[in-house]
Amino acid sequence: MEHVERALDLRSVLGEGPLWREGERRLYWLDLRSPAIFRFDPASGRNETLAASLPTGLGGMVFDRQGRWIVVDDSGIHRLDPKSGQRVDIANPEAGHPENSFNDAKVDRRGRLWTGSCNQDWVTPTGSFYMLDPAGKIAVIDRSIGCANGPAFSPDGRRAYWTDSPAREIYCYDIDPATGAVGPRQSFHKFGAVPEQPDGMTVDADGHLWVALWDGWCVAQIRPDGKLERRVKLPVPQPTAVGFGGEGMKQLYITTASLGLSDEQLRAAPLSGHLLVADVGQRGVVEPDFAG
């Protein structure tokens, strides 16, 4: 039986992006709607607000190999130095689409940044899915997306996963490890016509995909063959993203949202918006840094 509990007594509006930093023994995570970057220490329970004056439209954050932040938001992809505060624009392939904003970002096993965009209504399929290589070249991986979400990569780096949340489908691409070439889109797992939508994702060391199900009150574990293995029930309706961390990478951290919930719904699910942690009996994989 999985054990799920609140890791931190802090309610976010739209918690996202749990990212474990093994060298620091800290978990970084975001609030997208009250834009902030946090750093959480599980040992002490201390949660620091590292940046609270970020632009609106914050969509995701990863690290580069110099310890700087790569941030995606409604004005593109940027490098932000957490020490000096210096911000450098990297690219904005969505400059001609003011209706879109970037959403979520992850780094693959070769050090390349993958990020997607979505219409600000989260439904209209005007979004795209991009890959930024360390040299600064951007490739368009896919188009006509309602809301690109949750990039994740198999432990061997040979497969990329992502989901179009309103389509309720997870897709995958094969990656050539020698050349980095990305193959055609394939359907990996399709959820039924129910309210739940696949959101942020990660993989464990055995290659299972873990996905937060918005409006689903759970996190799902999916086998490498695309079959559903199990659902881990949660005390909140809107889990947003998942990431392994902690001692031995054995804890699954789950960000959640309180966005749009009524007072009555919050009384019924008081942990909405809080950072949760679960023991799911699996070990995660340390996420790489952007090599650019």
- Residue 168 belongs to what H/E stretch? none
Pairing of strands 87-91, 228-233: unpaired
- Going by the annotation, the residues of the binding site are 16, 103, 121, 149, 199
Write out the two tokens for 98. 């003011």
- Going by the annotation, the residues of the binding site for substrate are 103, 121
Q: Considering the candidates 73, 74, 199, 204, report the single residue annotated as catalytic.
A: 199
Catalytic residue list contains 156: no
d(CA 71, CA 123): 23
Pairing of strands 251-256, 276-279: antiparallel
Q: Does residue 89 contact residue 98 with C-beta atoms inside 8 Å?
A: no
**Residue 90 burial by Cβ neighbours in a 10 Å radius (0-12, 13-18, 19+):** middle
Instruction: Please give the angle made by the CA atoms of 100, 256 and 18, to the nearest 5 degrees.
Output: 80
Task: Collect all residues with Cβ–Cβ distance below 8 Å to 146 and sequence separation of at least 6.
Answer: 118, 119, 122, 123, 124, 125, 127, 164, 165, 166, 167
Q: Which residue has the tokens 């994740």?
A: 152
d(CA 219, CA 40): 21
Q: Does residue 18 contact residue 264 with C-beta atoms inside 8 Å?
A: no
Q: Does residue 249 contact residue 6 with C-beta atoms inside 8 Å?
A: no
- Catalogue the active-site residues: 199
